Amino acid sequence: MEKTMEKIVALAKARGFVYPGSEIYGGLANTWDYGNLGVELKNNVKRAWWQKFIMENQYNVGVDCAILMNPQTWVASGHLGGFSDPLMDCKECHERFRADKIIEDYAAEYNATLDGSVDGWSQEKMKQFIEDNNVPCPTCGKHNFTDIRQFNLMFKTFQGVTEDAKNTVYLRPETAQGIFVNFKNVQRTSRKKIPFGIGQVGKSFRNEITPGNFTFRTREFEQMELEFFCEPDTDLEWFAYWKQFCIDWLKTLGMKDEEMRVRDHDKEELSFYSKATTDIEFLFPFGWGELWGIADRTDYDLTQHQNISGQDLTYFDDQKNIRYVPYVIEPSLGADRVVLAFLCAAYDEEEIGEGDVRTVLHFHPALAPVKIGVLPLSKKLNEGAEKIFMELSRKYNCEFDDRGNIGKRYRRQDEIGTPFCITYDFESETDNCVTVRFRDSMDQERVAISDLDAYFADKFTF
Ligand code: ATP
């Protein structure tokens, strides 16, 4: 079975996971809308993150901050000055590229070794590499590029009725800054002592030069970020702790070792303020891609905000009688990216008889968009089946399907990743039992209707 993006994108559209954005107007490049199943899947992923990182975690609390922030925020964070990608055009076909990506792709194709990560290279060094290696344009194959220039990735807009510089605001390019500017507020109202963390889930916007690979890289996306504040000198321990925590989260939700790799940044690749950074990558059908960036950001962010805002952002440890600017460990995960990873990981085509292939999504039950399919064997049995549906729907997202033969209905539920189907048949009317069928093994089991509540109680936990 070959797992391709074409198959996954087609299934996503056909079954209601993800549609192309604004489709009736011919679309808008690289925008996507989550459909009836996609919204459930994405909500389940976000809920699973919130559950483990915020609800069950003794150290952390959550916030939900505004997308529009005082522009001074972006001066302090460095986004206004330095959040840009190296842009280059092909003079022949006028296609536009990121210079660093062309170099990386060229090196991968021709097995060329690079001097550290291209992320850390200067513009001159990139240009030199492209000239020395005679790197061709990926679109037309010619060798005639413009100079490299920096392109700021922030989306700009105006607040209020006049469109002038003093009304310029930016759509946030990450959720983290809402957390930093509220550090004191949250510390006071939650009465947390260091070490503690603040998490947030929400939209971010980046005017990416080369979006693509379905929902992997888009200009509007959602992030799940934690900023964990700790005492200086304890940062590397906490860095290791959160790195393992993130790996464990992915694994408990069914991600396999061979689909994941952990890539530590070497010295040249590290941002100037970072002591350690790791990417957790996933093997997508198009290759390895970053899912999660985990960084030791030292005291950079709070110090910057303290300097620019003039507000005191230090923390006083009344046990040790010391005052300091906390260090920060930041695990930052893209919600859309990890949803795509779970979708790719779940996708399977299984041969279950001669020439008989079923498409199935092996989602972890906690992530499955539909938890239980309720299927009356015949429409004559709808009344009894509907009662079960109504009862279970109070707790789980269920689907009621009375159309077509039962085999086809099972296959449809397999294809959307429903872990359990309940079949209500003629015997159910007298023995008060139903058949529960499992998606992965296709085994079946008879269960009393009165036991269903207890039966499912531990089936969707993780
Ligand atoms: P990349 O190198 O892929 O552009 P990055 O290193 O700039 O990513 P971060 O700024 O560390 O990414 O953002 C944290 C996480 O947010 C990423 O690991 C990714 O999961 C997600 N993310 C970042 N940019 C996008 C995007 N354009 N579309 C979807 N998700 C994104």
Return left, alpha or beta for 256; rule: phi > 0 is left, psi -120 to 50 is alpha, else beta: beta
Q: What is the pLDDT of residue 116?
A: 78
- 195 preceded by a cis bond (ω within 30 of 0): yes
For ligand 1, is residue 326 a contact (CB within 6 Å)? no
Q: What is the pLDDT of residue 194?
A: 98
CA of 225, closest atom in ligand 1: 14
Q: What is the pLDDT of residue 29?
A: 95
Q: What is the pLDDT of residue 250?
A: 98
Please tell me the distance between residue 431's alpha carbon and the centre of ligand 1 in angstroms.
55
**Ligand 1: residue whose CA is nearest its atom 12:** 293
Please tell me the distance between residue 157's alpha carbon and the centre of ligand 1 in angstroms.
22
pLDDT, one tens digit per residue, over 227-275 is: 999 999 999 999 999 999 999 999 999 999 999 999 999 888 888 899 9
**Ligand 1: residue whose CA is nearest its atom 1:** 290
Does residue 120 surpass a pLDDT of 90?
A: no
**Ligand 1: residue whose CA is nearest its atom 22:** 334
| CA 401/CA 17 separation, integer angstroms | 18
CA of 338, closest atom in ligand 1: 20
pLDDT, one tens digit per residue, over 2-43 is: 899 999 999 999 999 999 999 999 999 999 999 999 999 999
ipTM confidence: 0.97
Please tell me the distance between residue 142's alpha carbon and the centre of ligand 1 in angstroms.
30
Give the model's confidence band at 393: pLDDT under 50 very low, under 70 low, under 90 confident, else very high.
Answer: very high
331: its two tokens: 């695990």
Give the model's confidence band at 161: pLDDT under 50 very low, under 70 low, under 90 confident, else very high.
Answer: confident
Longest CA–CA separation in the chain, Å: 81
For ligand 1, is residue 291 a contact (CB within 6 Å)? yes
Please tell me the distance between residue 292's alpha carbon and the centre of ligand 1 in angstroms.
8
Please tell me the distance between residue 331's alpha carbon and the centre of ligand 1 in angstroms.
12
pTM score: 0.93
CA of 332, closest atom in ligand 1: 14
For ligand 1, is residue 85 a contact (CB within 6 Å)? no
- 177 alpha carbon, distance to own chain's centre: 18
Please give the domain boundaries of the chain with CATH numbers for all domains.
Answer: 5-82+154-344 (3.30.930.10), 86-149 (3.30.40.230), 370-456 (3.40.50.800)
**Which helix or strand (DSSP H or E) is residue 302 part of?**
helix 300-309
| CA 416/CA 40 separation, integer angstroms | 11
Structure letter (DSSP) for residue 305: H
Phi and psi angles of residue 395, each rounded to the nearest 5 degrees, phi first: -115, -30
Please tell me the distance between residue 302's alpha carbon and the centre of ligand 1 in angstroms.
22
Q: What is the pLDDT of residue 119?
A: 78
Q: What is the pLDDT of residue 379?
A: 96
CA of 217, closest atom in ligand 1: 28
pLDDT, one tens digit per residue, over 291-344 is: 999 999 999 999 999 999 999 999 999 999 999 999 999 999 999 999 999 999
pLDDT, one tens digit per residue, over 406-446 is: 999 999 999 999 999 999 999 999 999 999 999 999 999 99
Please answer whether residues 45 and 38 qualify as being in contact, where contact means their C-beta atoms are separated by less than 8 angstroms.
no
Please answer whether residues 60 and 53 qualify as being in contact, where contact means their C-beta atoms are separated by less than 8 angstroms.
yes
Q: What is the pLDDT of residue 303?
A: 98
Q: What is the pLDDT of residue 39?
A: 98
Please answer whether residues 292 and 322 qualify as being in contact, where contact means their C-beta atoms are separated by less than 8 angstroms.
no
Other CB atoms within 10 Å distance of the CB of residue 110: 9
Please tell me the distance between residue 334's alpha carbon and the centre of ligand 1 in angstroms.
6
For ligand 1, is residue 337 a contact (CB within 6 Å)? yes
Does residue 403 surpass a pLDDT of 90?
A: yes
Is 259 among the annotated ligand-binding positions?
no
How much is the mean pLDDT over the chain? 96
Give the model's confidence band at 118: pLDDT under 50 very low, under 70 low, under 90 confident, else very high.
Answer: confident
For ligand 1, is residue 331 a contact (CB within 6 Å)? no
pLDDT, one tens digit per residue, over 337-366 is: 999 999 999 999 999 888 899 999 999 999
What average pLDDT score do residues 192-220 get?
A: 97
Does residue 370 surpass a pLDDT of 90?
A: yes
CA of 279, closest atom in ligand 1: 18
**Ligand 1: residue whose CA is nearest its atom 2:** 290
Q: What is the pLDDT of residue 260?
A: 97
pLDDT, one tens digit per residue, over 32-90 is: 999 999 999 999 999 999 999 999 999 999 999 999 999 999 999 999 987 888 999 99
For ligand 1, is residue 292 a contact (CB within 6 Å)? yes
